[in-house]
Amino acid sequence: MQNEGRIVILGTGIMLGAHITPVAKSHLQAADVVFAAVTDGITEQWLQTMHDDVRSFAPLYELGKSRHETYQQMIDLMLTEVRAGKFVVGAFYGHPGVFAYAPHKVIELARQEGYEAQMLAGISAADCLHADLGIDPGRVGCQYYEASQFMFYQRVVDPSAYLVLWQITLAGDRSIARFDTGAAELQLLVELLSGHYPAEHQVVIYEAASMPFEQPRMEWIALGDLPTARLTLKSTLVLPPSRPLQKNSQMLARLQALQEL
């Protein structure tokens, strides 16, 4: 038998008031308590128009404090209310399952403890990116990486596909406690990429519009200029392919042979 409390983790989308799905909105309004992990006070105020008990996670973020600790606190706060038998909603900006640790973890833990737990999709920065930049991931493929993880581990880059680096402003942060890193870390990233992309390769700093009156930022720069570029917590770096798709002649020949059978 399932325990009484339940949790729904939903996405509020990127653009204020415009991206939340009808199903997410109805869960939000039906909840006993709403926890909010959104990017600004205006979005919190908008959530408060739909529910009178919205608790912000914003004060949990502090310069110099490990984000691991912050995420654990979010999880604990949500689970405490679930264990008290409440219907808890965790409202995360964008899509709650895209480049976000706490949403997946809290669902896993709630289910382990016998509570009903569900994630509802939201409009991610990725969705806006594909629309604004006109990139169809099906055309030549598209790789997504978190920028620091891309630097810390050996990755296999396919330069015939798009490469999208998330959290670019935190690239190379080993402390997990900063709000940005510096030109030196970005220079190392440029060096790491230089095996596949020349310094003059044109890349785009992308920021989806989060207010209805804003335009997306789509700033094209040479990769070599990344260390001095203006980056914010909203910036995502997109590298278009640097070489065309290479045919897999062996596989094509084998497929041809199959057809001829």
Catalytic residues: 67, 71, 93
Per the listing, tokens 């006109």 go with: 134
Among 14, 16, 36, 75, binds ligand SAM (CB under 6 A): 14
Burial track 59-80 (b if 16+ CB lie within 10 A, e otherwise):
ebeeeeeebeebbeebbebbbe
Smallest distance, ligand SAM to C-beta of residue 221, A? 16
Give the Cα separation of 227 and 190 in Å (integer). Answer: 8
Smallest distance, ligand SAM to C-beta of residue 125, A? 3
CB atoms within 10 A of CB 135: 19
Give the Cα separation of 147 and 258 in Å (integer). Answer: 42
Residue list 100-159, contact with ligand SAM (CB under 6 A): 100, 124-125
Q: What are phi and psi of 210, to 5 degrees?
A: -105, -10
Amino acid type, 231: L
Give the interface size with ligand SAM as a residue count (CB under 6 A).
17
Q: Is 103 helix (H, G, I), strand (E, B) or coil?
A: helix
- If one asks whether residue 35 binds ligand SAM (CB under 6 A), the answer comes out as no
Among 18, 199, 233, 255, binds ligand SAM (CB under 6 A): 233
Among 12, 43, 181, 210, binds ligand SAM (CB under 6 A): 210
Q: What are phi and psi of 7, to 5 degrees?
A: -140, 135
- If one asks whether residue 236 binds ligand SAM (CB under 6 A), the answer comes out as yes
- Point out the residue whose Cβ comes nearest to ligand SAM: 94
Per the listing, tokens 């006070």 go with: 41
- If one asks whether residue 167 binds ligand SAM (CB under 6 A), the answer comes out as yes
- If one asks whether residue 166 binds ligand SAM (CB under 6 A), the answer comes out as yes
Among 90, 94, 172, 241, binds ligand SAM (CB under 6 A): 94
Site for ligand SAM, rule CB under 6 A: 14, 94-95, 98-100, 124-125, 166-167, 206-208, 210, 233-234, 236
